[in-house]
Amino acid sequence: MDRNPQGGKMKIQMTSLGIGLRFAVISSSYTAIILTLHFLWLPHLTIPLPHVLAEIFGILLLIIGIPIYLISGLTIHKYFNQGKLATKGIYAYFRHPIYGSWIVFIMPGIVLLLNSLIGLTIPIFMYVVFKISIVKEDRYLEEKFGEEFLKYKKKVGEIFPKLWTIFEAN
């Protein structure tokens, strides 16, 4: 059972997955619909870039995104099991790097590889789902870690780093 900094029982309960399962189910459902539309009815709607260029950009985004996702997952698992707020490593730059890796790198990389113009709506949709859903996770973190989380939230961006944090960390 989770306890807040004052030792009281928390109103919001959450696993180490946070809103991840909700985010994945909703995003995957939308992705399946959009890609079905693309492949069955709209295959001619392609990204207006030479296909080889779209593939190169797609691969580069995946090369960046997959390690961010893996490192973030391992890091949050470790901190969650210790009952601590993750603020070091990649979490010093992004509060939610797992979601950010999918929204900013992995899904756009996949869409570029598939050369789907309507697929470009997928990361936008994922961002909207993230913004709506993350409120619950942030409330949980605020209740669990109190002032520590509020200071962290003010300093560190959600899925994009606040530029001054990059220079402060070095």
pLDDT over 70 (residue 59): yes
Task: Evaluate whether residue 11 is within a structural domain.
Answer: no
Q: Under a CB-based contact definition with an 8 Å cutoff, are residues 165 and 156 in contact?
A: yes
Task: Evaluate whether residue 142 is within a structural domain.
Answer: yes
Extract the tokens encoding 123: 């990361």
Lowest mean pLDDT among 47-56, 78-87, 161-170: 161-170
Domain count, the chain: 1
Domain of residue 116: give its range.
Answer: 20-169
Task: Evaluate whether residue 9 is within a structural domain.
Answer: no
pLDDT over 70 (residue 40): yes
Rounded distance between C-alpha atoms, residue 86 and residue 101, angstroms = 17
Mean pLDDT (the chain) is 90
Task: Evaluate whether residue 3 is within a structural domain.
Answer: no
Lowest mean pLDDT among 16-20, 31-35, 81-85, 104-108: 16-20
Task: Evaluate whether residue 69 is within a structural domain.
Answer: yes
Task: Evaluate whether residue 83 is within a structural domain.
Answer: yes
Q: Looking at residues 131-148, what average pLDDT do you find?
A: 95
As a whole-number percent, the residues of the chain with pLDDT over 70 amount to 89
Residue 166: band (very low, low, confident or very high) from pLDDT cuts 50, 70, 90: low
Q: Under a CB-based contact definition with an 8 Å cutoff, are residues 75 and 144 in contact?
A: no
Q: Which residue has the higher pLDDT, 63 or 18?
A: 63
Task: Evaluate whether residue 135 is within a structural domain.
Answer: yes
Lowest mean pLDDT among 8-17, 77-86, 106-115: 8-17
The pLDDT, as a whole number, for residue 3 is 56
Task: Evaluate whether residue 1 is within a structural domain.
Answer: no
Q: Under a CB-based contact definition with an 8 Å cutoff, are residues 167 and 155 in contact?
A: no
Distances (CA, A) of 81 to 15, 84, 86, 132: 10, 8, 11, 26
Q: Tell me the CATH number at 47.
A: 1.20.120.1630
Instruction: Name 55's Cβ contacts closer than 8 Å, sequence gap at least 6.
Output: 112, 113, 115
